[in-house]
Amino acid sequence: MSTELTDAKWTPMTAREHTSAPRCVNCGTQVTRQFARVFGDNRDVVHACPDCATYREMKTSDFIPEDAR
């Protein structure tokens, strides 16, 4: 382990493209993989999340396009 001081600064990821976590297609909110398995379509794509829909709407798959069901 080096003890040299450097000018490099750590910067956290700020862009959405840099993470592999699933996101809501409707609003862009990051969701867990388990949430995507339960409330997503057959490809684990989340079309609605608690930030942009109610659980009743998500359970009835009203946000999932017909061809993705």
Q: Please report, for the chain, the start and end positions of each structural domain, with discontinuous segments joined by +.
A: 21-69
Per-residue pLDDT of 1-47, as tens digits, reads 556 666 767 665 555 456 688 999 989 999 999 999 988 888 988 88
**Sign of the CA dihedral 52, 64, 31, 22?**
negative
Q: pTM (2 decimals)?
A: 0.60
- CA distances from residue 32 to 38, 39, 46 in whole angstroms, order as listed: 10, 11, 10
Q: Mean pLDDT score of the chain, rounded to an integer?
A: 78
